[in-house]
Structure 1
């Protein structure tokens, strides 16, 4: 099934049931790894809002939740490589275990920037959990990227929090851009 978002066409790539199952698996892993501790889950807005909600349904230990907002896409199909801080963290993370929750890691530029920024606040640890990961697009080695929902090809995607021109975040499935479409006769 294809859908239209703004001026582009997308086709289904990952169905919600698969996302739900993978979030449950990761949530159980995080519960075991952080048992007896009080981690702070930090969602990176706007894209992570659906994934962090799905993930935290499956984390059964006590935890705190906070959000930050960064931007590097600014509405287009490719990262602008200019990272904008739009909303900073309002929780003290000194000596705390931090779990960053991302919608997607592609080049790693935004994640590297964010990890470096948070390290200056002296957390006990930083781990990253991302719904999607594009290994072919990576420009950085990021050892903190430990939990990955799905590895995908280097294609533009929308849905489940990800957007194109601020549209498509509400879709429960993940869709990939259709390339090379021929006009219908």
Structure 2
């Protein structure tokens, strides 16, 4: 698998440390609140799982499949909800769990949707943030990264490589054809 990786951007150890740090911050900020972690599938799975272990509060986990990506490496402005929440969120504290904030379009659309559904609060935790590529402010960020095509730890290239335990940069030859 390493033949597709140009470099390791964030190591497995760094990810574990970030999950612990973020979990501690979230625990403090959400004490005595009705916390619902909403994971945006599929990429959030490893991050949400590891992060939740470090949030020392009762919480509920829900998932959505919301997409603004339609293959390849480009993002589109079209948002599609493919799988919605199973519970109402009115008057609840929502923490959106995202693997990466690229353009921020998906998160903005989901936040707007949750506002119309009456969520008490809506914040974002993301493992990665391509800050140069968006103007979205996430409340909790593991790492700010350069605008490179990354994969691993939930992030994919053509639905593969999500199982890498680190975040790597995909060699340009694989997507610049």
* TM superposition score category, shorter chain reference: over 0.9
The yes-or-no answer on 1:88 pairing with 2:84 is: yes
Q: Secondary structure at the match of 1:60?
A: coil
The match for 2:2 is: 3
- When structure 1 is superposed on structure 2, of 12-21 and 68-77 the one drifting more is 68-77
1:68-83 matches, cutoff 5 A: 68-83=64-79
How many residue pairs were aligned?
A: 174
Distance 1:93 1:109 in 2: 21
Give 1:172's aligned residue.
165
* Pairing partner for 2:21 from 14, 20, 25: 25
Matched with 2:126 is 130
Q: RMSD between aligned alpha carbons?
A: 1.6
1:161 and 1:169 in contact (8 A); partners too:
yes
**Number of the residue aligned with 1:50:** 46
Moved more, 68-77 or 146-155: 68-77
Q: Which runs of 4+ in 1 moved over 3 A?
A: none
Pick from 1, 8, 11 the counterpart of residue 12 of structure 1: 8
Distance change (3 Å), C-alpha of 1:47 and 1:180: closer
Moved more, 29-38 or 95-104: 29-38
> What is the Cα deviation at residue 180 of structure 1?
6.9
Instruction: Tell me the secondary structure at the aligned position of residue 78 of structure 2.
Output: coil
Rg: which structure is higher?
A: 1
SS at match of 1:82: strand
Q: Normalized against structure 1, the TM-score is what?
A: 0.89
Q: TM-score of the superposition, structure 2-length normalised?
A: 0.93
Of residues 156, 162, 168, the one that matches 1:163 is 156
Q: Is the 8 A contact 1:75 1:166 kept in 2?
A: no
Unaligned runs of 5+ in 1: none
Per-residue CA distance 1:80-100 (angstroms, 9 max, x = gap): 332221101111111000000
Gaps of 5+ in 2: none
SS of the residue corresponding to residue 31 of structure 1 reads helix
Greater share of residues in helix: 2
